[in-house]
Amino acid sequence: MKHKIEGFLDLVRQRNSLEPEFLQAVEEVAETVIPYIVQHDIYHGKNILLRMVEPERAVMFRVNWVDDSGEIQVNRGYRIQMNSAIGPYKGGLRFHPSVNMSILKFLAFEQVFKNSLTTLPMGGGKGGSDFDPKGKSDNEIMRFCHAFMSELFRHIGPNTDIPAGDIGVGGREIGFLFGMYKKLKNEFTGVLTGKGVTWGGSLIRPEATGYGTVYFAQKMLQTKGDDIKGKTVTISGSGNVAQFATEKVTQLGGKVITLSDSSGYILDKDGIDEQKLAFVMDLKNNKRGRISAYVDAYPNAKFFPKKTPWSEPCAIALPCATQNELNENDAKILLNNGCICVSEGANMPSTKEAIALFQKAKILFAPGKASNAGGVATSGLEMTQNSLRYNWTRKEVDDKLKDIMGNIHDKCIKYGKDEKTGYIDYVKGANIAGFVKVADAMLAQGVV
Ligand code: NDP
Ligand code: 2IT
């Protein structure tokens, strides 16, 4: 088996040698899915996984725009259309200076499995730009988004490819992107998700990724007869996912003691309650400030520059910032401090070595493609509402989100539970369940 997996990975490594994040994502999937393929004749001789690691299409384009000082700026735009076997391409746009082919291909590859897990008919894609939104004025953001969409519009559509937000792309950016798409196509359609609620957006979409990550943690804890109530929780990031994960943990009776951004983390041992979270939301979403400002408002809290929160003792850790933000050493410290549950809000935040340690210690560990799928699932619900030209209530959407997270958890058990020991390998479960649906559709559709 090892030989088969290595043979496959060698080929993928040769073809993508300059793409470490993409290779990391493929390795994690190959190690659990190839043994499954070997046991199931219908997939033999079909090179399904080899086809799945090759994007159906990848576009890269120039984005020119004029900054406030009148200077012409040049950025790169991308859209990776990874797999459309079970539905139109679907996945977010990331605006961050680190964006490149490797990062977007890893995200698009993960998205294929994640979207399959949601139970909704969505293929996988991802896109974005190396544009850095930090320090830009609203007008610069608008000009950039308009310039970006003036090329992207020809590659997407409500039945082709439906982008959404990710790091650096929130409600403000989706508004500007949607405005330019509508102008160019002369069509008001559900081509993007994460729209404002008065113009086609879904209630609960902003909350969905963070809420879903916590619902998934709750489901995992329930398998041990345990609960979030009374637990101390560390969270990284302070953006969309981190904010609503904090809100849901607090609503369920847990205590969130950390948040972070790329400059460091804050520790508030009293807990980040509703009122303090409102401060963080205003700081991050309106003032676009740094998390260090938290300690000016709440002097009992401490700021640790250039550090991640994983050294703080907690029962539950929710990494909600970015890829590879939790390494082997962090995992060791978390385990030593008694952490029993890690639910990934971000995409691939734990390194391979960190995951291996969590699994060896047999704590509850959920990979992002399962635990953060609530965001894209609710995007799927936004698409449904757009097609129906109807809006569901907050409760209706939240109930559907809970059902979907429960469904994903069930599938992880179906494909990931060791009947002898009772241990649930959520990585294996999510990878195989995600794979089966896409692979079966690819088989049915032939070599296209
Ligand atoms: P935001 O842009 O709203 O927030 C990102 C947060 O992560 C910020 O606090 C940011 O800090 C921090 N961050 C970003 N890059 C780094 C870095 N290199 N090092 C340290 N901190 C960093 O993004 P989201 O909350 O939407 O996304 C967070 C994660 O969740 C990402 O991995 C994303 O792919 C994933 N995700 C998002 C979904 C969504 O619906 N939005 C759905 C599923 C997954 P700073 O401001 O300093 O950059
Ligand atoms: O990583 C993700 O799942 C997202 N950024 C959300 C994608 C979406 O289409 O809502």
Closest CA to 311 of 344, 341, 333, 340: 333
Distance from Cα 361 to the centre of ligand 2, integer Å: 30
- Report whether pLDDT(151) > 90: yes
Q: Are residues 245 and 144 both part of a single domain?
A: no
Dist. CA 394 → ligand 2 center (Å): 20
Tens-digit pLDDT profile for residues 37-70: 999 999 999 999 999 999 999 999 999 999 999 9
Q: How do beta strands 302-305 and 124-129 pair?
A: unpaired
Nearest CA to ligand 1 atom 39: 166
Length of the chain: 448
10 Å CB burial of residue 117 (0-12, 13-18, 19+) is buried
Indicate whether 414 belongs to any domain.
no
Q: Which atom of ligand 2 is nearest to the CA of 166?
A: 5
On whether both 264 and 303 belong to a single domain, the answer is: yes
Percentage above 70 pLDDT, the chain: 100
Same-domain check for residues 64 and 184: yes
Q: Is 347 in the pocket of ligand 2 (CB under 6 A)?
A: yes
Ligand 2 centroid distance, CA of 369 (Å):
10
Q: Which pLDDT score is estimated for 440?
A: 98
Last residue of a domain, one of 366, 396, 416: 366
How close is the Cα of 440 to the center of ligand 1, in Å?
33
Ligand nearest to the CA of 367: 1
Are 123 and 230 contained in the same domain?
Answer: no
CA atoms of 34 and 49, how far apart (whole Å)? 8
Mean of pLDDT values over 273-302: 98
Q: For tokens 């635990």, what's the residue?
A: 371
| Distance, CA of 242 to CA of 186 (rounded, Å) | 36
Are 175 and 246 members of one domain? no
Domain that holds residue 325: 208-366
Which ligand 1 atom minimizes the distance to the CA of 345? 30
114, 126, 136, 231: the catalytic one is 126
Q: Find the 401 Cα to ligand 2 centroid distance in Å.
A: 14
Query: From the CB of residue 51, how many other CB atoms can be counted at a distance below 10 Å?
Result: 15
**CA–CA gap between residue 101 and residue 81 (Å, rounded):** 12
Mean pLDDT of 231-251: 98
From the CA of 95, the nearest ligand is 1
Are 173 and 241 part of one and the same domain?
no
- Determine contact, residues 258/317, Cβ cutoff 8 Å: no
Q: Are residues 212 and 311 in the same domain?
A: yes
Residues 137 and 77 in one domain: yes
- What span, in angstroms and rounded, lies between the C-alpha atoms of 76 and 167? 16
Identify whether residues 178 and 237 lie together within a single domain.
no
- If one residue of 79, 107, 166, 386 were mutated to test the ligand 2 pocket, choosing by the most ligand atoms within 8 A of its CB, it would be 166
CATH label of the domain that carries residue 169: 3.40.50.10860
Count of other CB atoms within 10 angstroms of residue 267: 21
360 is known as an active-site residue? no
- Give the chain's domain count: 2
Q: Are residues 241 and 332 in the same domain?
A: yes
**What residue owns the CA closest to ligand 1's atom 2?**
167
Both 156 and 261 in one domain: the answer is: no
Q: Are residues 238 and 135 in the same domain?
A: no
Which three-class secondary structure state does DSSP give residue 351? coil
**pLDDT over 90 at 1, yes or no:** no
| DSSP symbols for 41-107 | GGGTTS-HHHHHTS-SEEEEEEEEEE-TTS-EEEEEEEEEEEE-SSSSEEEEEEE-TT--HHHHHHH
Last residue within a domain, chosen from 366, 392, 415: 366
Calculate ∠ Cα 276-277-283, nearest 5°. 95
Rounded distance, CA 319 to CA 305, Å? 18
- The answer to whether the beta carbons of residues 74 and 63 sit under 8 Å apart is yes
Q: Is residue 110 part of a domain?
A: yes
* 269 part of a folded domain: yes
CATH value at residue 296 = 3.40.50.720
Pocket flag, ligand 1, residue 345 (CB < 6 Å): yes
- Relative to the CA of 90, which ligand 2 atom is closest? 9
The string of pLDDT tens digits covering residues 245-286 is 999 999 999 999 999 999 999 999 999 999 999 999 999 999
- Identify whether 90 is part of a domain: yes
